[in-house]
Amino acid sequence: MKEVLATVLANAPIAEGVYSMTFSAGTPMPVRAGQFVNLGVGDGAHLLRRPIAICKAEGENITVCYQLKGEGTRLLSRLPVGGKVSVLLPLGNGFFVREEEKKIALVGGGVGIFPMISVLREYVPKGKEIYSYIGFRNKNAVCCLDGLEKSTALTVVTDDGSYGKKMNAVQAFATDMDRVKPDVVLSCGPVPMLRALKEVMQGTGIPCYVSLEERMGCGIGACLVCVCNKTDGAHARVCKDGPVFNIEEVIL
Ligand SMILES: Cc1cc2nc3c(=O)[nH]c(=O)nc-3n(C[C@H](O)[C@H](O)[C@H](O)COP(=O)(O)OP(=O)(O)OC[C@H]3O[C@@H](n4cnc5c(N)ncnc54)[C@H](O)[C@@H]3O)c2cc1C
Ligand code: FES
């Protein structure tokens, strides 16, 4: 993990309330799918960094996509090209797919679609078959299709049916699961979505890994702001022990 003062190369809207930002970290960064950065929002009044998944890492250039939520992401959206941003990276364990797992199903909803792009970028070149089930709020929120279209098959759905079928990503996956028979399922999205996925996966014997979105402080395992409860009664730090966990391992 490094702290760098990165230079913003691009920072512009790509869908309603969603921005894509590319910055140069100044040095090439080895990044695994599902890892994240912790971005300084930089005005002194907002001391906590904001965790954002890495979509794309190419040499020293890193691209993230973020939805405007509150003050932190609003400040990020105002960073000009050429501006500086303090970044801790790469953070977290990321998604790890075993050699024998040839067929991957991706289930992503909301801001959880962004780490799915990093999975496609890492595992398509490694010869994996990837079936993606991606849910957006409505057609105005649809974005990143160029990255998602690297999938072997891509199903895009929306909550209101304004783009693709009217359903969520878990429903789209559940209706196709028996046909595709994935060796492993990787997912990221809001907790109710992950709970629904846990139900779908129960009794299938298919391993399923989820990336959790917890509020964070330090992002490096020191402050315990991000602790989640595990099914064995223990606790885990989402930033350091995760954000990716086996779905059976965590209480959602
Ligand atoms: C590992 C990780 C990866 C993430 N990747 C992305 C990403 O790729 N793109 C993206 O848009 N967002 C991502 N998030 C969520 C993002 O960190 C929050 O949306 C952001 O910190 C909100 O900051 P804010 O100052 O704009 O909003 P705040 O004013 O802090 O909060 C606004 C609203 O968002 C909620 N919120 C804040 N933080 C989180 C959080 N971590 N999870 C869920 N809800 C939250 C608050 O409860 C509040 O309702 C990720 C979170 C984690 C932990
Ligand atoms: S954010 Fe500080 S321990 Fe995870």
In the listed set 91, 126, 157, which residue is the last one of a domain according to the structure? 91
- Whether the per-residue pLDDT at 6 is higher than 90: the answer is yes
Please check whether residue 143 is in contact with residue 168, taking contact to mean a CB–CB distance below 8 angstroms: no
| Residues 121, 36 within the same domain | no
Give per-residue pLDDT as tens, 156-187.
999 999 999 999 999 999 999 999 999 999 99
Tokens of 157: 């759905």
Kindly report, residue by residue over 36-93, the tens digit of the pLDDT: 999 998 766 666 899 999 999 999 999 999 999 999 999 999 999 999 999 999 999 9
pLDDT tens-place string over residues 87-120: 999 999 999 999 999 999 999 999 999 999 999 9
Q: How many domains does the chain have?
A: 2
Structural domain span for residue 202: 103-211
Decide whether any atom of ligand 1 lies within 6 Å of the 51 Cβ. Answer: yes
The atom number, within ligand 1, closest to the CA of 64 reads 8
Q: Is residue 21 part of a domain?
A: yes
Is 195 part of a structural domain of the chain?
A: yes
Q: How many CA atoms lie within 13 A of 129 on its CB side?
A: 9
Of 197, 8, 33, the residue nearest 114 (C-alpha): 33
Residues 6+ apart with CB under 8 A from 86: 3, 4, 5, 6, 39, 40, 42, 49
pLDDT of residue 44: 65
pLDDT confidence of residue 48: 82
What is the position in ligand 2's atom list of the atom closest to the CA of 51? 1
Q: Residues with Cβ within 6 A of ligand 2?
A: 216-219, 221-226, 237, 239-240
- CA separation, residue 57 to residues 1, 45, 118, 121, 201 (Å): 15, 29, 8, 9, 31
| Amino acid 135: pLDDT | 97
